[in-house]
Amino acid sequence: MLDGPVLDRLARTLTPDARITVMTGAGVSAASGVPTFRGSTGLWRNFRAEDLATPEAFARNPRTVWEWYDWRRQLIARCVPNRAHEILASWSRRFPAFTLITQNVDGLHERAGTDPVLRMHGSIWDVSCWNGCAASPPRWRDDTVPFTALPPTCAHCGGPLRPGVVWFGEPLDPEVVDACLDATRCDVFFTSGTSAVVYPAAGLVAHARRHGATTVEVNPEGTPASGEVDLVIAQPAELVLPVVDAQLPR
């Protein structure tokens, strides 16, 4: 838990010249009102990933998949970053060698001011042409909320647009993966708000350990990563991060 010795150990590792990498998942946005995917109140509770977050599902029924994403976009548009996003944004300014990796597609880290953000699974605010037509760019931002018709269509070829996220069975952007792997060569690696079941994101903690990083998990619940990190802080990120931040020299 977050007692004196744990806090002291953490504060000692967060030195001005430390390479710090933080990987986040849906739990970091929970306090902002964005539903998580798994667990009792999770999104997946009513859906199966195979039914919605795959290219096969989209090919089968683009409208159904878009009903889910358009619903999430409308919900996320009403949410604001919470203290966890804000503290991480301040750390991205405070520590010269700080990297934020996220599995989240909600854009709340960016809205809190973290820049850059390594988005492993893309952005719910991006779209791309499902047909990949020559006239359309690879992807672009479209903040329309709600879309008037589902699926939204490509202005160039009239085909359906798809959400600019990475679905199960789709490869991640290799440049993003390389940047994430490089960021595991760090002094401190935090993993917070993730159930640590989706790969290759879930594999980053092991890489950080192999590089000798102090690894820390901030999550009220245990995960498959809990047994491999140096420090488990079983509390919510929006409570933990401000307390750790307060220990840092002003």
What one-letter code names the amino acid at 130? W
Task: Tell me how far, at minimum, the Cβ of 135 lies from ligand BV8, in Å.
Answer: 26
Centroid of chain to Cα 195:
12
What one-letter code names the amino acid at 91? W
Between residues 187 and 238, which has the closer beta carbon with respect to ligand BV8? 238
Residue nearest to ligand BV8 (CB): 27
Between residues 88 and 218, which has the closer beta carbon with respect to ligand BV8? 218
Task: Tell me how far, at minimum, the Cβ of 222 lies from ligand BV8, in Å.
Answer: 8
Between residues 157 and 231, which has the closer beta carbon with respect to ligand BV8? 231
Contact between residue 178 and residue 207 where contact means Cβ atoms under 8 Å apart: no
Between residues 151 and 193, which has the closer beta carbon with respect to ligand BV8? 193
Contact between residue 131 and residue 161 where contact means Cβ atoms under 8 Å apart: no
Task: Tell me how far, at minimum, the Cβ of 230 lies from ligand BV8, in Å.
Answer: 18
Task: Tell me how far, at minimum, the Cβ of 96 lies from ligand BV8, in Å.
Answer: 26
| Beta bridge partners of residue 188, listed in sequence order | 20, 214
108 to 12, 32, 116, 154, 183: CA distances (angstroms): 28, 9, 13, 26, 21
Annotated catalytic sites, by residue? 121
Residue 192 phi, psi (nearest 5): -140, 135
Q: Which tokens hold the place of 248?
A: 């840092």
Interacting residues toward ligand BV8 by CB under 6 A: 25-28, 30-31, 36-39, 42, 53, 103-105, 121, 165-171, 192-195, 197-200, 218-221, 223, 236-238
